[in-house]
């Protein structure tokens, strides 16, 4: 300028904070046949909305085990958009998905993150054993149509006492009823293999 000051042009633009984005989303161990959901929020703290796009880079697993959506959308001004991550294992193995997030802002470096999940053997069996043991404690009153309410209560009390005795027996041996069942099956299989 004429006063001897130097004018330096500065260009500023609104941006989202990429440090809030994870590099890995781990579902951990999930039972076969069940569905776990996580939300990945993408926030915007400025008064401008941004468009985003997700692109799949790598996938290992059965098609449909890990689902992501929506794959593109708008991050509202002073708000956030949520990306749904679903994991439903269909086999006893791990699944891995690598995604790249692009945001329509100047100088945004694509953000790469992975989504992983694993299934664990025995989860379905344990869930069914708990269901079976809880239904065993509820007598079918249709079978005892002529029974009185007192008879039904006595039957339920007797079943509950039997289960409690079995669990107490397992605790004295350092295991539970379910461990005894697992051990007896495993022992039978081992004895069969040794023959």
How many whole angstroms separate alpha carbon 41 and alpha carbon 73?
12
Quote the pLDDT of residue 15: 77
User: What pTM did the predictor assign?
Assistant: 0.59
How many whole angstroms separate alpha carbon 159 and alpha carbon 168?
14
Side-by-side strand order, sheet with 94-103? 24-30, 111-119, 94-103, 50-60, 72-75
User: Which of the two residues, 3 and 172, has the higher pLDDT score?
Assistant: 3
How many whole angstroms separate alpha carbon 78 and alpha carbon 44?
5
Quote the pLDDT of residue 87: 95
DSSP state of 41: E
Quote the pLDDT of residue 148: 59
> What is the average pLDDT score of the chain?
76
Quote the pLDDT of residue 175: 43
How many whole angstroms separate alpha carbon 52 and alpha carbon 31?
32
Q: How confident is the model at residue 33 (pLDDT cuts 50, 70, 90)?
A: confident
On the question of pLDDT at 77 being above 80, the answer is yes
Quote the pLDDT of residue 186: 39
């Amino acid at each position: 300028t004429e006063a001897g000051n130097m004018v330096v042009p500065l260009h500023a633009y609104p941006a989202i904070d990429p440090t809030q984005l994870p590099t890995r989303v781990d579902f951990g161990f999930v039972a076969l046949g069940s569905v776990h959901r996580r939300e990945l929020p993408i926030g915007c703290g400025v008064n401008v909305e941004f468009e985003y796009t997700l692109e799949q880079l790598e996938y290992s697993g059965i098609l449909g085990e890990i689902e992501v959506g929506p794959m593109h959308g708008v991050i509202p001004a002073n708000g956030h958009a949520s990306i749904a991550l679903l994991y439903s294992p269909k086999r006893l193995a791990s699944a891995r998905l690598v995604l790249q997030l692009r945001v329509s802002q100047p100088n945004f470096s694509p953000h790469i993150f992975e989504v992983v999940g694993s299934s664990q053997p025995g989860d379905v069996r344990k869930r069914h054993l708990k269901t079976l043991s809880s239904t065993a404690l509820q007598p079918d009153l249709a079978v005892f149509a002529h029974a009185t309410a007192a008879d039904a209560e006595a039957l339920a009390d007797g079943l509950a006492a039997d289960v409690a005795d079995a669990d107490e027996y397992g605790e004295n041996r350092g295991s539970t009823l379910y461990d005894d069942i697992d051990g007896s099956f495993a022992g039978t299989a081992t004895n069969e293999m040794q023959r």
